[in-house]
Structure 1
Amino acid sequence: MKQYTVVDLFCGAGGFSEGFHQAGFKILRAYDIWEPAIKTHNKNHFNYGKDIATKYDVYKLSTLPRDLFELEVPDSDVIIGSPPCVAFSNSNKSGKGNKELGIKLLKSFLRVVARKKFKENSILKYWMLENVKNIEKYIQDSYTMAELGLPGFDVLKVKKIGTGVYDLQDYGVPSSRKRYICGDFVKPEKCEITKSLGVVTESLGEPGTLDESLVRDPNFDIVLKRNQLTDHHYKKEIPEFEWQKAKRQKMDKGYMGVMSFPEKMERPARTIMATMSGSSRESMILDYSKDSDDRYRYPTIREVATCMSFPIDYRFYGDSDSVKYKLVGNAVPPLFSYSLAKAIAKQDQCYLPSEALLKSFAVEDGFVNLNGEIFPLKEEQTKKPNAKFKYHVPYLKIDAFRAELLNSFNNENVEWVAEIHKGQGKSAKVYKDFEFSLDFLSKFEFSIISEFIDKMSSQIESFERLQEIYIKTTQQRENECLIGPEELLEGLKHLINNNFDNHNDNVEILELNISIPQKILISHFILSELISVIGSCEKSKIMNL
């Protein structure tokens, strides 16, 4: 049976190649510019002892003179590639980042495809491009040779049958990851079973269990002894100041929905990112152990790699966990790639291995195994003097309304303001400096508010002092019993919950032609009055209201 050949552009750690390799395709050549990715690809894939991946700028590769281009890029049946997606990702300035470089690299990939497809006696049958779903709006249906900077009158059709956004968990990948695929390919078949994060962690076992019990790969038919798993037998704990921030981001973002904290094991893992973080909304956070309370850890490299469907014998050649994490997070999940390759193999009756293809590595090949690594607990650092703050009263969101406290800088002078926010994105609304009445409050409730403002203002004193306290570490603030903006909002939350919980109606604000919940107005009023006091260093005239 015939065996198709593959060229991989922007190959990264080799996830795209790995899927085709497991489906029996022969990887001829791969290109990238990042040394750890090239090394990882070469150590996991080789042809007769020769390196497959080479360091090459794909843009320069795509513009080589014909003779050099043909010398550098072998003819193949398939071309695959995943140009860097940062320019198109929603995480890049909320999707508003500069797209110029991304489009340049996209065209570089298409230029290579066109040069191979439209050459005389071409053998290229299939090609496919993988990227974030947001790239769809920046890819044309087709490109003329002139648009790709090439001679001739051929037209490269890009959006053909099967083109679209794929949810990779539908193809056996144990994580939620939506990707856009275009090109000339066979649409893959979906899997009937969705794999969860719990399946991954149960298969791999507790990190540090160095025994000879067997581990069965949840993605490929591979079995290893547990003590043969690399990059798994260690624990890296997330410090409390980081996971507390992540918890707020996940469960109380303000204008976004609630996310699980820690991860829900019965669902596919969240999208694996390229940056390892323990303090963001996208952070993947696991319980430190089954018996621990309020202790959390990062997933091991083996756990995230398996969530991305890399075989459990695949190795990542980075000298730190952050480099290895990036290698994994930037990759195309091999199981999805395998689905694409298998669809081609079945249609064209190509060779398709009946068993998973195992890896073999030299004893001394520069691999850094994180097993047994001891990671010191990260210490919180003081913030920069001009650190920005923007947050609402914790867990107080009503009909998308929230009372926010934020700072800004005029030269080196800091100012604090209170605002009411509603919604997100283009439909977001911000309300400040408007008139409203709190005539629904009793005198006793006003006295409670006055007492709270007096207490807080006596400890905060001024805008500058509030900023000085804010930039200190959590531990410093606790040791010195200081009230910073986070403690202020936390105190305000308790004040509202304990004293104003029965104020569930809305108030019509004629000036704004909008109805705002009473608790939000009360919170905004308190913050505004407090800011007025500490901004002017005068006591509030609140009792005269």
Structure 2
Amino acid sequence: MKFKAIDLFCGAGGLSTGLKKSGFRLCLGVDIDEKALKTYKCNLKRTKVLKEDIKKVTGEKITELTGINRRDNFLLAGCPPCQGFSSLGKRDANDEKNELVYEYIRIINELEPSFILMENVPGMSTGVGKEIFKNVVKELEENYHVEYATLNAADFGVPQIRKRLVLHGIRNDVYDNLGLDKEKQKILPKPTHSKEKKKGYRKWVTVRKAIFDLPILGAGESYDDSIIKNHKARSLSETNIERLQEIRLHGGNREMISEELQLECHKKENVSYTDTYGIIDPDKPAPTITSGCTIISKGRYCHPTQNRGLSIREAARLQSFDDKFEFQGNMGEMSLQIGNAVPPKLAQASGKVIINYMGLYEDYLEAQAKGVITP
């Protein structure tokens, strides 16, 4: 039996892809971004898609589209936009996009799913969004047993250091009926990988292992799409290629390059974003992949051995998308979709835990229907 899931704020489909790999049947993806939804529809062909402002989406509309009724045994997942909480954003607690998390709660209250999943940046619980998150948890705990933690995607097989706030919830009546031990039976995924060699864990996946088998590209080149999808890199000026060559000779950091090749903005004291124009270390997981992941001036996104930025396919692999997943749009649009995505392998880890408990609840419901147990 495949359990049903709905993905709100689905974007290009990272979360949906991971949930599908864990065994869920994705019934509906909801987002307002038409370009991201084009990618979603290309890859999750059997999933219905609703392009709509979340403020206009109702539980009734979701039931109409999916046949899922209030209090059914299903997963309602959501990744509300997080620009106001992100360390790379303005960190503005008053950003109106932050309020969209309450739309997620509204839909939860309208549908009362048996299980919920929310993913966001760590700043939502520790930074400027701390009060908002505290209110969110308080509201959820009225009807759900909730657990949350900041997880590192690298600990789940993603070749990237990416810390994300992950929240799982089980409706209180479901949790009580399952008779779970709060101290022993945690409902968050357990790491499978580790930075150091450790018994019972695999080592973090490195950039070398993730992307070095891909064909060599020059800046501005594209590989045959019929063989490998989206393996294309941005063009670079001759000066930037010279910069990369010299940076590569000085340990992969731009601070040591000759003055004539330094940008004026980099000559100032107390310059922020010191990783820009940096070379990725091939023997570690990648740095956090953002919407600027294919632009060398946006972070440490220079290919470890080739004088160019990451290709779309390389960035996708570092987010743990497999090569069958095809992104749609121009370079900027695809980079944004990749950077905004939940790494599928992290989503898959969540999905495996939740689907296990959903199965236990389904067994309980069947036993109850047969009169083996009484409510």
Q: TM-score, normalised by structure 1?
A: 0.50
**Structure 1 residue aligned with 2:160:** 175
1:138-537 to 2 correspondences below 5 Å: 138-140=132-134, 155-157=142-144, 160-161=146-147, 163-184=148-169, 186-191=187-192, 192-207=202-217, 228-232=227-231, 236-237=235-236, 240=239, 247-248=254-255, 254=270, 259=275, 261-276=278-293, 278=295, 280=297, 282-286=299-303, 289=306, 296-318=307-329, 320-349=330-359
Residues 20, 276 of structure 1: alpha-carbon distance in 2 compared, 3 angstrom cutoff: closer
Q: Matched residues in 1 for 2:222 and 2:60: separation?
A: 55
- 1:147-179 CA-to-partner distances (Å, cap 9, x unmatched) read x9xxxxx92447x23x01011100000011100
Structure 1, unpaired ranges of 5+: 118-123, 149-153, 212-225, 290-295, 351-545
Matching residue of 2:260: none
Q: How far does the alpha carbon of each residue in 1:221-278 deviate from its partner, in whole angstroms, 9 at most, with x for none?
A: xxxxx96211115563365359579934899973779659311111101111113564
| Compared CA separation, residues 206 and 200, structure 1 to 2 (3 A) | farther
Rounded Cα–Cα distance in structure 2 between residues aligned with 1:78 and 1:343: 12
Partner of 2:26: 27
Between the aligned partners of 1:253 and 1:336, the Cα distance in structure 2 is 38
Provide the rounded CA distance (Å) in 2 between the counterparts of 1:258 and 1:252.
11
Q: CA-to-partner distance for each residue in 1:434-461, whole Å, 9 max, x for gaps?
A: xxxxxxxxxxxxxxxxxxxxxxxxxxxx
CA 1:73 to 1:250, structure 2 compared with 1: closer, same or farther past 3 Å?
farther
| Secondary structure class of the residue paired with 1:204 | coil
Q: Equivalent residue for 1:79?
A: 76
> Does the 8 Å CA contact 1:89/1:134 hold for their aligned counterparts?
yes
Preserved contact between residue 238 and residue 278 of structure 1 (Cα < 8 Å): no
CA contact (8 A) 2:3 2:25 kept: yes
Aligned to 1:184, the other structure's residue is in SS state strand
Task: Give SS of 1:128's match.
Answer: strand
1: CA distance between counterparts of 2:60 and 2:295?
49
TM-score normalised by the chain length of structure 2: 0.71
Q: Which residue of 2 aligns with 1:479?
A: none
The change in CA–CA distance for 1:209 and 1:315 in structure 2 (over 3 A counts) is: closer
Quick check: 2:296–2:309 contact (8 Å CA) kept in 1? no
Counterpart in the other structure of 1:59: 55
Q: Cα distance, 1:140 vs. partner? A: 2.0
Higher relative contact order at CA 8 Å, sep ≥6: structure 1 or structure 2?
A: 2
Flag the structure with higher strand content.
1
Structure 2: how far apart are the matches of 1:78 and 1:321? Answer: 33
| Residue pair 2:2, 2:23 contacting (<8 A) in 1 also | yes
1:55-80 Cα distance to aligned partner (Å, 9 max, x none): 0111221xx4x654642565261011
CA contact (8 A) 1:277 1:283 kept: no
Structure 2: distance between partners of 1:70 and 1:349: 22
* Unpaired runs of at least 5, structure 2: 171-186, 193-201, 248-252, 256-264, 361-375
Trace 1:69-108 onto structure 2 (pairs within 5 A).
Answer: 70-72=63-65, 74-75=67-68, 77-93=74-90, 95=91, 97-108=92-103
Displacement of 1:110? 1.2
Which has more helix, going by share of residues? 2
- Report if the CA contact (8 A) 1:12-1:34 is conserved: yes
Query: How far apart are residue 134 of structure 1 and its match?
Result: 0.4
Q: Match for residue 432 of structure 1? A: none
Query: What amino acid sits opposite 1:171 in the alignment?
Result: F
- Indicate if the aligned counterparts of 2:229 and 2:326 stay in contact, CA closer than 8 A: yes
Given the superposition, is the C-alpha separation of residues 343 and 195 from structure 1 closer, same or farther in structure 2, using an over 3 Å criterion? same
Point out the more displaced range, 194-203 or 263-272. 194-203
- Tell which structure's C-alpha radius of gyration is larger: 1
Native 8 Å contact 1:287 1:297 kept in 2: no
Aligned-pair distance for 1:143? Answer: 6.2
Does the CA-based 8 Å contact 1:88-1:99 persist in structure 2?
A: no
RMSD over equivalenced CA pairs, Å: 3.3
**Whole-Å separation in 2 of the counterparts to 1:19 and 1:276:** 21
2:278 touches 2:296 (CA, 8 Å); kept in 1? no
Cα distance change on mapping 1:57 and 1:257 into 2, 3 Å: closer
Secondary structure at 1:90 match in 2: coil
